[in-house]
Amino acid sequence: MFSWMASTKTPDSIFVCNECGTVERKWHGQCPGCAQWNTLVEEVAPTPSVGKGARRGIGGAGASETRALDGTGLAAVPAPASRAARGAAPITEPVILSEVRAARIRRIATGIGEFDRVLGGSDAVGLGLVPGSLVLLGGAPGIGKSTLVGAALGNLVANGTSVLYVSGEESPEQIRVRHERLGSAAMGVPVIAETDLDSVIATIEAQSPKPEVCVIDSVQTLYCADLSGAPGSVGQVREVAARLMQVAKSRDIAMLLVGHVTKEGSLAGPRVLEHLVDCVLHFEGERERTFRTLRAAKNRFGSTNEVGVFEMEEHGLVEVLDASARFVGDATNNPGSVIFAAMEGTRPMLIEIQALVSRAEADPPRRVVNGIDRNRLSLILAVLGRHAGVSLSGHDVFVNVVGGVRIEEPSADLAVALAVASAARNAVLANDSKPLVCFGEIGLTGELRPVPQADRRVAEAVKFGLSHALFPAPKGDRSGAHSVSEALDRAFS
């Protein structure tokens, strides 16, 4: 059923196994080398080059051959000629790092403060994009990736920066309709609608002046004519990203690659794509809600702890400079509701966490979460049952982080535990009309572990008039709680 894949292969491509590295001239469902299924990926065959007395590469004269049995008796790709036959390799002299002079490269600010802060930088070089860098921006369909990069390009054009927008998903007419709501500056962005990689690279190199920032929307829509695979396949994405990286590095172009995600929420395509780029950004949120968060999963030029918060409005994305005010303003002082004091990078943020506990109608009971890890909830429920006397084995438990925000840090354990206990007891976690603020990591033995920057978290709560805070205390300190059971006693007293 897969025979068509081999018949459509171009003569200038090979198939390489992702597991063992076996090289084949045609595609196989099962790798002849390691017997793994669906691991052969199409790649462009290396171009033969002449060495001293021998030709290296596929089919080169004088090259020694290695044969791998593929069930048909055909020989595998010939191995490259030996180093002795090609001549001595040039020697690279090591350089001591203290003697390397690194020039400070000034970054390109996009004009969107939350975006620039996640990209990283400093007061000396500014915040924003690094010239010659490759940035991968991923997110669910409709989350606002194109809106974000469109607004950034509009700001750059208004500041006199040369840009180029390459779209493989929309026509120029469609892009115009979408950019009209972003303001007049976004209407000055030059765009092309093209999916052929060679044509895109030729257009970039022919632009005068040279574009300082280029957006590829999206990298999965481009295709290389040297490969037979469909756009978005593993081989195509890997080759497209590698070619674009060469253009970005050689011409000092900051290149933004918009990428698709899988149904699990991870970036689509080969893992090598994330290793190849300099920065990986995740644009998260729910399309039904207005809030969006931008996080860096990888950043060679900055911190991965920063997060940007946006709100989708009629005229595009708007920066949320004080996210705590938005979340606290909508918080309710009801059973099952607490305020979690989070640290998102260098700034504190107050986020509401809600829980609902009801008697299970089916076996096993359901554990539904939104915004936290489901396995983390299972751990917290086990600790509550073992060390705090809150057994929920016969109840359904629902936990939601309000606003569509996703929490990764373990310091949210105490907030989740108190919200669940409050919902189970149908009791309010506060001694006044304002909700309880809490944070802390829970250990498997029921102890509470201190978390970083507790003073900044408490100060953020006090700024909004939330004086009732509960958090882990150092040993010997009676001002806070040391265990889950003690935290429950203090919360309900």
Same domain, 70 and 137: no
For residues 281 and 140, state if they share a domain: yes
* 377 and 398 assigned to the same domain: yes
Q: How many domains does the chain have?
A: 3
Same domain for 141 and 79, yes or no, is no
Q: Quick one: pLDDT at residue 232?
A: 86
DSSP string of 55-75, one letter each residue: EESTT-TT--------SS---
Q: Is residue 77 part of a domain?
A: yes
In a domain, 151, yes or no: yes
Are residues 355 and 449 both part of a single domain?
Answer: yes
Q: Which of 55, 90, 125 is where one domain is finished?
A: 90
Structure tokens given for 187: 């209407």
Write out the residue range of the structural domain in which residue 296 sits.
113-321
Judgement on whether residues 132 and 214 belong to the same structural domain of the protein:
yes
CB atoms near residue 324 (< 10 Å): 22
Residues 6+ apart with CB under 8 A from 477: none
In a domain, 96, yes or no: no
Predicted confidence pLDDT, tens digits, the chain (493 residues): 333 444 344 557 788 887 787 888 888 889 888 888 888 888 777 665 544 443 333 333 333 333 343 443 444 444 455 555 566 888 999 999 999 887 888 999 999 999 999 999 888 889 999 999 999 999 988 899 999 999 999 999 999 999 999 999 999 999 999 899 998 999 999 999 999 999 999 999 999 999 999 999 999 999 999 888 788 888 889 899 999 999 999 999 999 999 988 877 778 777 778 999 999 999 988 777 788 889 999 999 998 888 898 998 888 899 988 888 888 877 778 899 999 999 987 789 999 999 999 999 888 999 999 999 999 999 999 999 999 999 999 999 999 998 878 898 999 999 999 999 999 999 988 666 778 899 999 999 999 998 999 999 999 999 988 888 899 987 666 666 889 999 999 888 7
> Are 25 and 46 within one domain?
yes
Domain co-membership, 133 together with 217: yes
Rounded to 5 degrees, what angle do the CA atoms 159, 161, 162 make? 145
Residue with tokens 């036959």: 85
* Same-domain check for residues 353 and 488: yes
Question: CATH number for the domain including 358?
Answer: 3.30.230.10
Which of 283, 299, 321 lies at the terminal end of a domain, its last residue?
321
**Is residue 409 a part of any domain in this protein?**
yes
Closest CA to 49 of 80, 79, 21: 80
CA distance 146 to 352: 29
Which of residues 277, 296, 321 is at a domain's end?
321
Which two tokens mark 21? 């590295």
d(CA 119, CA 423): 40
For residue 104, being part of any structural domain is answered with no
pLDDT for 429: 82
Q: Is 57 within a domain?
A: yes
Work out the burial of residue 434: count CB atoms within 10 Å of its CB; fewer than 13 is exposed, 13-18 middle, 19 or more buried: middle
pTM, two decimals, is 0.76
Is residue 99 assigned to a domain?
Answer: no
Domain of residue 134, CATH code: 3.40.50.300
231 and 297, same structural domain? yes
What is the identity of the amino acid at 27? Answer: W
Residue 270's nearest CA partner among 45, 39, 24 is 39
Query: What is the distance, to the nearest Å, from the Cα of residue 27 to the centroid of all Cα atoms in its chain?
Result: 31
What residues have CB less than 8 Å from 428, skipping those under 6 apart? 333, 334, 335, 422
Pairing label, strands 316-319, 307-313 = antiparallel
